[in-house]
Amino acid sequence: MALRKYAGYAWNLISLVGMILAVTATSLIIGFLSYEGITGVEKPYLGLMTYFLFPGMLIVGLLLVPLGAYIVREKRRRHPEEKIEPFPKVDFNDAHKRHLFIFFVVASIGFVLIVSVASLKGYEFTESTTFCGELCHKVMEPEHVAWANSPHAKVKCVECHVGPGAAWYVKAKISGMRQLYAVAFHTYPETIQTPIDNLRPARDTCEHCHWPEKFYAGRQKVFYHYAPNEENTPREINMLINIGGTPKSQHNKGIHWHIGQEVRYIATDRQRLDIPYIAVKEKDGSITEYFNTEKPLSKADVAKAEKRVMDCLDCHNRPAHIYRSPGVEMDEALAAKRIDIALPYLKKTAVEILTRPYKNKEEATATIAKDLPEYYAKNYPNVSKQKTKEIAHAVTVVQDIYTRNFFPAMKVSWNTYPNHIGHFYTPGCFRCHDGKHKTAAGKVISKDCNMCHTVLSQKQENILEGSKHSEFVHPVDIGDELYKANCSDCHSAGGQDVPGGEHHAKK
């Protein structure tokens, strides 16, 4: 009778289901946690189950057990023969009750431990790049791939997209929830639009690691290129980039001048490529206003429009998600000797194949594998025979370039998101520094080629070895278009196949 009275309450279907759920969930959590601990492998869907689904199952299970018992007890209590009091009596002199109580305490501690470990790991997990980059694999693939190939590959997504503090965590997770929903029900726009609206202010996140007051005055950088000719002739532009710091640092002139000063501007498009108005707050508090002389805004337009204060992201808008043009990728592969420079017209041919439109990745990789060897078989039969291995290797390198910079499934390719840092493929700095933005008094935002950088030396087919040039020499003579036009007017295609570039006739 006593046994039935106490243990018996839990002997019902609801409690039994609860117990099975709890025991299964506990063993799954322990199992997967130790699998992850031993192998060090983090799998996104496994993580989602281990940190959220199974702990949920455990809690539901543990609630079902007393619920079932309570229902049974209430039912029996209503039976006139059973004399059961409204509340159970806790009597530690009763060995059975004492054991039951000890079991209850031990089980509770174990339960609290498991759930806390799981939720701590769960928090960590939602902060991981696995969660951000792989869980919604298709949607985030371009960003994840480009990030993994950037100087910030060791910086977690959340350090830029969320940053420290509970408020931004909650904000980001709520918008993350919306995105998860959008992915599940395909309501997301095909290509993610930038600039993203809910990004934390750049100075909060970037300055967590980078301190503008301590930037170097200058940074030497060599730009490697290879001519689209038979020899893939190397070209080198060795420049000193005038980085500079903020007004509080020792070197307060130079590129980072903009972040010490309050610079506001109006953009007429979402990508902020068209900037007709800029206002600078000078040290004495006065405002200097620059207008694009080709499309002047009226006073009323200026008063009405939203003005953005310039920060890191107005130049470094692609610090982590950097896509490179086929031309730049081929230059880097050649500079790093990942491909054989002795293959005639390799740069020109590969860039030409990469810039064709493809429906999907499979079509692109198949075409590369077919067309590159065919080009050599047809035009250079000897090279084709002697360098079969090198050509096959070039195929894998070119395929890799495609998969890192073209994502047809998300309609993203290397030039979907303009990078504002320079002025070669996109207007970048020349959005303002184009020589066309002036004050009423005639002061111009300078386009002087030696203001932002100085050419230290340059190697090129049209430069005599040993001769000195203080200015950049363009590889083909384009006259004063070099200074008048924007480089991106001709170079936005991404390879060397710019108008007028056809003089390098294909063999």
The length of the chain in residues reads 507
Q: Does 489 bind ligand HEC (CB under 6 A)?
A: yes
What's the closest the beta carbon of residue 378 comes to ligand HEC, in angstroms?
23
Query: Per CB under 6 A, does 192 bind ligand HEC?
Result: yes
Q: What is the DSSP letter of 345?
A: T
Pick from 7, 15, 17: nearest CA to 88: 7
Measured in degrees and rounded to the nearest 5, phi and psi for residue 421 equal -70, -30
Residue 58 found at the interface with ligand HEC (CB under 6 A): no
| Candidate list 451, 459, 463, 473; residue touching ligand HEC; CB under 6 A | 451
Q: Is 435 in the site for ligand HEC (CB under 6 A)?
A: no
| Shortest Å, Cβ 145 to ligand HEC | 9
**Tokens coding 206:** 């970037």
Q: Which stretch binds ligand HEC (CB under 6 A): 45-53, 115-123, 294-302, 477-485?
A: 477-485
Distance of alpha carbon 157 from alpha carbon 140, whole angstroms: 11
- Which span sits near ligand HEC by CB under 6 A: 20-28, 60-68, 201-209, 367-375? 201-209
Q: Answer for the pair 238, 460: CB distance below 8 angstroms, yes or no.
A: no
What's the closest the beta carbon of residue 87 comes to ligand HEC, in angstroms?
54
**H or E segment to which residue 221 belongs:** strand 219-226
Interaction mask 455-474, ligand HEC, x per CB under 6 A:
-----------------x-x
Give the contact letters, 225-244, x = binds to ligand HEC (CB under 6 A), - = no.
Answer: x-xx------x-x---xxx-
From residue 394, give the alpha-carbon distance in Å to each of 271, 338, 403.
Answer: 35, 8, 14
Task: Figure out which of the listed residues 45, 70, 104, 483 binds ligand HEC, where binding follows CB under 6 A.
Answer: 483
Among 23-31, 41-49, 113-121, 207-215, which window interacts with ligand HEC (CB under 6 A)?
207-215
Q: Is 67 in the site for ligand HEC (CB under 6 A)?
A: no
* CA torsion angle 333 335 340 343 (round to 10): 100
32 near ligand HEC, judged by CB under 6 A:
no
- Binder of ligand HEC out of 48, 421, 463, 473 (CB under 6 A): 421
Of 297, 449, 463, 473, which lies in the binding site for ligand HEC, with binding defined by CB under 6 A?
449
The residue type found at 360 is: N
The count of chain residues that interact with ligand HEC, using the rule CB under 6 A, is 100
Q: Is 172 exposed, middle or buried (0-12, 13-18, 19+ CB in 10 A)?
A: buried
Residues 145-164 touching ligand HEC, rule: CB under 6 A, are 147, 151-152, 155, 157, 159-161
Long-range contacts: 356-362, Cβ < 8 Å, 24+? 358/406, 358/408, 359/408, 360/408, 360/409, 361/402, 361/403, 361/406, 361/408, 361/409
Q: Do the Cβ atoms of 28 and 83 come closer than 8 Å?
A: no
Which of 326, 433, 493, 494 touches ligand HEC (CB under 6 A)?
A: 433
Distances (CA, A) of 59 to 62, 65, 109, 308: 5, 10, 14, 49
42 scored as a contact of ligand HEC (CB under 6 A): no
Query: Which of 75, 137, 210, 370 is in the footprint of ligand HEC by CB under 6 A?
Result: 210
Taking CB under 6 A as the binding criterion, the range among 2-10, 168-176, 370-378, 425-433 that sits at the site for ligand HEC is 425-433
Please report whether residue 485 would count as binding ligand HEC according to CB under 6 A.
yes
Alpha carbon distance 408, 361 (integer Å): 7
Considering only residues 267-326, where is the footprint of ligand HEC by CB under 6 A?
A: 275, 278, 280, 290, 310-317, 319-321
DSSP 37-99: HHH----HHHHHIIIIIHHHHHHHHHHHHHHHHHHHHHHHHHSTTS---SS----TTSHHHHH
Name which of residues 326 to 385 contact ligand HEC (CB under 6 A).
327
- Contact call for residue 122 and ligand HEC (CB under 6 A): no
172 counts as binding ligand HEC under rule CB under 6 A: no
Q: Smallest distance, Å, CB 395 to ligand HEC?
A: 21
